[in-house]
Structure 1
Amino acid sequence: MPPHPRVGTLFGEWRIEECLGDGVVWSTYRARRFGERSVLRILSHDAAKNAGARDRFLEVRGVVERVGHAGPVQVRETGESKDGEPFVHFEFVPGHTLASALREASVQLPAGVRSIERRPPTPPKMDAERALTVIDEVLDCLAAAHERGVLHRDVRLETIFLASEGGVKIGNLGMVRILDAAKVFVRGAPAFLAPEQAMGLVDQLDARADLFGVGAVLHTLVTGQPLHPGETEIEALVAAATKPANPVSRLGYGVPGAVSDIIERSLEWDRRNRYEDAREMQSAIRNALVAVSGERATDV
Structure 2
Amino acid sequence: MAAMVHSPARSLDVGSVIADTYTVEGLIGKGGMGAVFIASHARLPGKKVAIKVLHPDVADGDSLARFKREAEIASRLGHPNIVAVHDWNQLPDGTPYIVYELLDGESLADRLRRGPLAYDEAMSILRQVGSALAAAHREGIVHRDLKPQNIFLVQADDGVSVKAKVLDFGISKIRGSTTVKTQDTAMLGTPQYMAPEQATGQHEHVDGRTDVFALGAVVYEMFAGVPAFQGSTIPEVVFKVVYEETPSLAEKAPGLPPHVTAGVHRALAKKSSDRWDDVGTFVEALTGSPLASGKRSIVPGVAAG
TM-score band w.r.t. shorter chain: 0.7 to 0.9
The alpha carbon displacement at 1:95 in A equals 1.1
* 1:296 corresponding residue in structure 2: none
**Within the alignment, does 1:101 sit opposite 2:103 as a pair?**
no
Letter in 2 for 1:41: K
Secondary structure of the equivalent of 1:61? helix
**Aligned partners of 1:137 and 1:272: how far apart in 2?**
24
* 2:235 corresponding residue in structure 1: 234
**Aligned partners of 1:78 and 1:252: how far apart in 2?**
43
**Aligned partners of 2:48 and 2:112: how far apart in 1?**
25
**Within the alignment, does 1:172 sit opposite 2:163 as a pair?**
no
The alpha carbon displacement at 1:268 in A equals 0.8
**Aligned partners of 1:239 and 1:19: how far apart in 2?**
35
**Deviation string, structure 1 residues 242-288 (Cα, Å, up to 9, x no partner):** 32323423556433212101101101111101111112112112218
**Aligned partners of 1:43 and 1:136: how far apart in 2?**
31
Q: 1:11 to 1:273 in 2, by over 3 A?
A: farther
**Aligned partners of 2:80 and 2:110: how far apart in 1?**
22
* 1:17 corresponding residue in structure 2: 26
**Deviation string, structure 1 residues 65-92 (Cα, Å, up to 9, x no partner):** 3324211111111001111111111211
Secondary structure of the equivalent of 1:225? coil
**Aligned partners of 1:100 and 1:141: how far apart in 2?**
21
**Aligned partners of 1:240 and 1:209: how far apart in 2?**
12
Counterpart among 47, 56, 60 of residue 45 in structure 1: 56
The alpha carbon displacement at 1:177 in A equals 5.7
**TM-score, with normalisation over the residues of structure 2?**
0.77
Letter in 1 for 2:168: N
The alpha carbon displacement at 1:16 in A equals 5.7
* 1:84 corresponding residue in structure 2: 94
Residue ranges of structure 1 left out of the alignment (5+ in a row): 105-123, 290-300
**Deviation string, structure 1 residues 5-44 (Cα, Å, up to 9, x no partner):** 4474436243262252322xx3131322264433322233
Q: 1:185 to 1:31 in 2, by over 3 A?
A: farther
Letter in 2 for 1:211: V
Are the equivalent residues in 2 in contact too, given 1:56–1:177 (CA < 8 A)? no
Are the equivalent residues in 1 in contact too, given 2:141–2:173 (CA < 8 A)? no
Q: 1:63 to 1:281 in 2, by over 3 A?
A: same
* 1:144 corresponding residue in structure 2: 135
Are the equivalent residues in 2 in contact too, given 1:258–1:288 (CA < 8 A)? no
Q: 1:214 to 1:207 in 2, by over 3 A?
A: same
* 2:118 corresponding residue in structure 1: 127
Secondary structure of the equivalent of 2:288? helix
**Within the alignment, does 1:54 sit opposite 2:45 as a pair?**
no
* 2:196 corresponding residue in structure 1: 195
Q: 1:244 to 1:225 in 2, by over 3 A?
A: same
Counterpart among 74, 81, 85 of residue 84 in structure 2: 74
**Aligned partners of 1:38 and 1:185: how far apart in 2?**
33
* 1:277 corresponding residue in structure 2: 278
Structure with the bigger percentage of helix: 1
Q: 1:188 to 1:59 in 2, by over 3 A?
A: closer
**Aligned partners of 1:282 and 1:168: how far apart in 2?**
15
**Within the alignment, does 1:27 sit opposite 2:46 as a pair?**
no
Are the equivalent residues in 1 in contact too, given 2:89–2:97 (CA < 8 A)? yes
Letter in 2 for 1:222: F
**TM-score, with normalisation over the residues of structure 1?**
0.78
Q: Tell which deviates more after alignment, 238-247 or 3-12.
A: 3-12
**Aligned partners of 2:75 and 2:35: how far apart in 1?**
21
Q: 1:288 to 1:58 in 2, by over 3 A?
A: closer
Are the equivalent residues in 2 in contact too, given 1:68–1:144 (CA < 8 A)? no
Letter in 2 for 1:203: E
**Within the alignment, does 1:219 sit opposite 2:243 as a pair?**
no
Secondary structure of the equivalent of 1:130? helix
